[in-house]
Amino acid sequence: MTCSLCHEASTDYLKLYYLLICPLCEEKLLKLKPETSDYQYLVYKLNECRKRHNQMSTL
């Protein structure tokens, strides 16, 4: 299993709906402020994951 954000393999995951988020990314998410570009990028990545997940589930 790999992290939905960084795609690194990990043994411990935060399950956020259909996403798996490794502890490092979880920590980054918690530290980010909504107005930062990093935050916007992560939101974009999460939305892309959601789209892919939805496409896979409709096949």
pLDDT for position 19: 72
| Sequence-distant (≥ 6) Cβ neighbours of residue 51 within 8 angstroms | none
Q: Is the pLDDT of residue 54 over 80?
A: no
Q: Is the pLDDT of residue 18 over 70?
A: no
E strand segments, 1-59: 14-16, 19-21
Q: How many domains does the chain have?
A: 1
Give the mean pLDDT of 3-22.
75
Domain annotation covers residue 1: no
Entry pTM: 0.49
Q: Which domain holds residue 43?
A: 14-58
Q: Is 25 exposed, middle or buried (0-12, 13-18, 19+ CB in 10 A)?
A: buried
Domain annotation covers residue 32: yes
Q: Give me the amino acid identity at 22.
A: C
Cα distance between residue 19 and residue 47, in whole Å: 11
Domain annotation covers residue 49: yes
Domain annotation covers residue 8: no
Q: Is the pLDDT of residue 37 over 80?
A: yes
